[in-house]
């Protein structure tokens, strides 16, 4: 089973390279299959929101492209000369938007896999020593935003229960307790960090990371995929020039197939959920 | 659900890639109308699935001078010796070469430059040297330049050579091509040019990449089914 954060980091970098570079629909479909395969052994019920967001993100470019682009040769229908949306609505624009949306979907999917498989604390723990403090600060800052939003909702609900106004006119009355709550939380964070000896040295781990054979295989496959994707010529796709995509060369398919190694190892070795989430 | 979506995406991509097998030799037509009203027409045969508008001009044998403008594409500065000297900055301050595509029986202003405009079998490009926007060339049918599409689809060696205009309509704003006299082209016999042997198979018929793609898809779907059965959500 793959546990080392660096192995998942290497896989994510390779997956993002494919998502950013390859716009050929065949390669994008294969990459989507790869990401789904890698995600399946680690899937849980809580991540449905991320995938819904990813699908919405993938659909948005299609709507924007088909509604705003007047280019293309395969006309679906023609609207009267209404500003912005009037004119030919083309299949070429749909294909261009779908290609862009699929690239966004793959990007979010790669990060969703990383988020599912690696805890942010584990990533901070493996950062190089010069980046450890900055990484911890960024992780805390990122965690601060949703907690501040939750505090704002709590204060708002408390005011509603008391029958007080919650509109924009009540903003000063909402902001003051929010500011005090945020400052109090910041002090708690500071004391927690101090109690854990933050800044005095590298944080120790109860269970240090160990490289397994599966981790090494994934890192090797991911690095090989990155090199192959960078070296092999990309298969371009521009639906405005030719709607039909070119079939990708086998070498590039193999490079993307290397990213399915985590799914392969998971199918051969059972995923230990308790150990994975430890 | 995800596997179904991915399979549907792959199927859609496969449908988009469908090309007729008989379209090995293609023809595109070119109409060039000078400021004097004279015009020339050319029919160009090509083996590729598509060529650009600039390639069409180049392969037609008509003299031209184009200038590249980076990512925007190339602009036509001089065509068939008009203007007599290439203006500074390509365009000059007066008339310029305007670029059109034939669509639905009329000329449409090209959204792209000639170097970025793809042409397929049966397409027609028009150039007109005029001042002011949207000065389209006169109407002319593709069949009058390249012959009937069915005849030109498979027999490059006997492709029609007529360049006589046979207008299909005569708009009030632009004079009919029947009134035009063909100009002296630099190389009139270059009306038909070939870019490769007629037996050259199209790229999409290569079976190895399709086999690799299908094998990869089947392997991934099988792996997904195994991982799906191993542990429920």
Q: pLDDT at residue A171 above 60? A: yes
From the list A30, A40, A246, the residue facing B227 with the nearest CB is A40
- Residues on chain A touching B2 (C-beta within 8 angstroms): 36
* Same domain flag for A162 and A34: no
User: How far is residue B105's CA from residue B191's CA, in Å, rounded to a whole number?
Assistant: 23
What's the pLDDT band for A60 if we cut at 50, 70, 90?
Answer: very high
The last residue of a domain, from among A140, A168, A195: A195
At B74, the pLDDT band (50, 70, 90 cuts) reads confident
Q: CB distance B13–A245 less than 8 Å?
A: yes
Q: Does residue A254 fall inside a structural domain?
A: yes
Q: What is the mean pLDDT of chain B?
A: 69
User: Could you tell me the pLDDT band of residue B94, with boundaries at 50, 70 and 90?
Assistant: confident
Answer whether A230's CB lies under 8 Å from A238's CB: no
Residue B19 vs residues A25, A235, B27, B103, B186: alpha-carbon distances, Å: 16, 18, 16, 21, 36
Q: Are A219 and A6 in contact (CB under 8 A)?
A: yes
Residue B197 clears pLDDT 60, i.e. is over it? no
B-facing residues of A in 73-92 (CB < 8 A) are 73
* Domain-terminating residue out of A195, A225, A241: A195
- pLDDT value, residue B132: 80
For testing the chain B interface, which of A24, A29, A47, A112 should be mutated: the one with the most B CBs within 10 Å?
A29
Is A205 contained in some domain?
no
CB nearest B220 (choices: A34, A45, A241): A34
A82 belongs to a structural domain: yes
Return the pLDDT at B12. Answer: 42
Q: Are residues A228 and A100 in the same domain?
A: yes
Of A54, A24, A63, A22, the C-alpha closest to A36 is A54
Question: Same structural domain for residues A162 and A67?
Answer: no
Residue of higher predicted confidence among A233 and A178: A178
pLDDT at B157 over 50: no
How high is the pLDDT of residue B72?
A: 61
If asked whether residues A115 and A140 sit together in one domain, one would say no
Q: Looking at the structure, do residues A104 and A46 belong to the same domain, yes or no? A: yes
pLDDT digits (tens, 9 = 90+) for A107-166: 999 998 998 888 887 888 778 877 888 888 888 887 788 788 889 888 888 888 888 877
Q: Looking at the structure, do residues A117 and A181 belong to the same domain, yes or no?
A: no
Asked if the C-beta of A26 comes within 8 angstroms of chain B's C-beta atoms, the answer is yes
Both A112 and A175 in a single domain?
A: no
Of the ranges A31-45, A132-146, A191-205, B142-156, which is most confident? A31-45
Range B26-201 has CATH code 2.170.130.30: yes
A72 and A40 in one domain?
Answer: yes
Q: What confidence tier does B8 reach under pLDDT thresholds 50, 70, 90?
A: very low
Q: For residues A184 and A225, state if they share a domain.
A: no
Q: Stretch A189-195: mean pLDDT, rounded?
A: 88
In this structure, what are the phi and psi dihedrals at residue B106, rounded to the nearest 5 degrees? -140, 170
Per-residue model confidence (pLDDT) at position A209: 80
Do A118 and A8 touch, CB atoms closer than 8 A? yes
Average pLDDT over residues B106-112: 82
Q: Could you tell me if A38 and A150 lie in one domain?
A: no
CATH 2.170.130.30 residue ranges in chain B?
26-201
Task: Tell if the CB–CB gap between A263 and B224 is shorter than 8 Å.
Answer: yes
- Whether residue A208 is contained in a domain is answered as no
Is position A67 within any domain? Answer: yes
Q: Does residue A161 sit in the same domain as residue A37? A: no
Whether A102 contacts chain B with CB within 8 A: yes
Domains contained in chain A, number:
2
| B13-54 confidence digits (pLDDT tens) | 443 443 433 345 888 999 999 988 888 899 998 888 888 898
More confident residue, B22 or A50: A50
Helix, strand, coil tally for chain B in percent (to 5): 30, 20, 45
Classify residue A71: in a domain, yes or no: yes
Residue A139's domain spans which residues?
129-195
What's the pLDDT score for residue B171? 36
- B223–A43 CB contact, under 8 Å: no
Is pLDDT larger for residue A16 or for residue B173? Answer: A16
Chain-chain contact of B220 with A33 (C-beta, under 8 angstroms): yes
Q: How many angstroms separate the Cα of A159 from the Cα of each of A154, A156, A278, B51?
A: 9, 5, 39, 68
Residues A204-251: tens digit of each pLDDT = 777 778 888 999 999 999 999 999 999 988 877 888 877 888 888 888
Selected residue with higher pLDDT from B73 and B80: B80
Q: How many residues does chain B have?
A: 233
Identify which has the larger pLDDT, B158 or A208. Answer: A208
| Residue A271 pLDDT | 56
Rounded Cα distance between B90 and B70, Å, is 14
Residue A218 is predicted with a pLDDT of: 94
pTM strictly above 0.80: no
Distance CA B103, CA B200 (A): 29
A19 and A154 share one domain: no
């Amino acid at each position: 089973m793959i546990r080392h954060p660096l192995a998942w980091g290497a896989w994510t970098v390779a997956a993002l390279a494919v998502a950013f570079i390859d716009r050929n629909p065949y390669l994008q479909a294969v990459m989507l299959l790869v990401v789904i395969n890698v995600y399946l052994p680690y899937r849980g019920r809580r991540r449905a929101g991320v995938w819904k967001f990813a699908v919405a993100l993938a659909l948005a470019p299609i709507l924007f492209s088909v509604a705003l682009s007047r280019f293309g040769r395969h006309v679906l229908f023609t609207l009267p000369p209404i500003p912005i949306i009037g004119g030919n609505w083309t299949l070429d624009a749909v294909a261009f938007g779908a290609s862009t949306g699929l690239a966004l979907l793959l990007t979010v999917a790669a990060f969703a896999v990383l988020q599912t498989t690696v805890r942010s604390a584990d990533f901070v723990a493996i950062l190089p020593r010069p980046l450890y403090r900055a990484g911890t600060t960024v992780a805390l800052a990122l965690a601060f935003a949703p907690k501040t939003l939750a505090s704002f909702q709590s204060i708002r609900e408390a005011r509603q229960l008391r029958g007080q106004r919650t509109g924009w006119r009540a903003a000063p009355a909402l902001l003051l307790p929010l500011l005090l709550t945020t400052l109090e939380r910041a002090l708690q964070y500071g004391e927690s960090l101090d109690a854990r000896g933050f800044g005095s040295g590298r944080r120790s781990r109860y269970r240090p990371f160990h490289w397994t054979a599966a981790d090494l295989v994934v890192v090797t496959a991911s690095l090989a995929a990155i090199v192959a994707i960078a070296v092999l010529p990309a298969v371009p796709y521009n639906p405005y020039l030719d709607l039909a995509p070119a079939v990708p060369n086998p070498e590039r398919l193999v490079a993307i197939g290397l990213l399915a190694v985590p799914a392969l190892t998971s199918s051969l070795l059972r995923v230990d959920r308790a150990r994975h989430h430890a | 659900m995800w596997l179904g979506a991915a399979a549907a995406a792959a199927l859609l991509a496969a449908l988009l890639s469908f090309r007729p097998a008989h379209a090995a030799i293609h023809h595109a037509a070119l109409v060039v109308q000078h400021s004097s009203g004279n015009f020339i027409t050319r029919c160009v045969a090509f083996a590729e699935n598509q060529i650009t508008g600039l390639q069409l001009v180049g392969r037609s044998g008509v003299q031209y001078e184009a200038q590249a403008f980076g990512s925007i594409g190339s602009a036509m500065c001089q065509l068939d010796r008009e203007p007599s000297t290439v203006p500074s900055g390509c365009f000059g301050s007066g008339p310029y070469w305007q670029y059109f595509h034939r669509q639905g029986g009329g000329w449409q202003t090209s959204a792209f430059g000639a170097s970025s405009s793809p042409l397929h079998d049966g397409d027609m490009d028009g150039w007109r040297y005029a001042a002011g926007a949207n000065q389209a060339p006169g109407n002319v049918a593709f069949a009058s330049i390249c012959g009937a599409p069915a005849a030109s689809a498979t027999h490059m060696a006997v492709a029609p050579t007529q360049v006589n205009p046979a207008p299909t309509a005569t708009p009030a704003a632009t004079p009919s091509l029947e009134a035009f006299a063909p100009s002296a082209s630099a190389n009139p016999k270059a009306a038909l040019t070939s870019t490769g042997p007629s037996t050259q198979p199209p790229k999409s018929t290569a079976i190895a990449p399709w086999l690799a793609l299908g094998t990869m898809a089947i392997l991934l779907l099988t792996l997904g089914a195994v991982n799906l059965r191993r542990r429920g959500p």
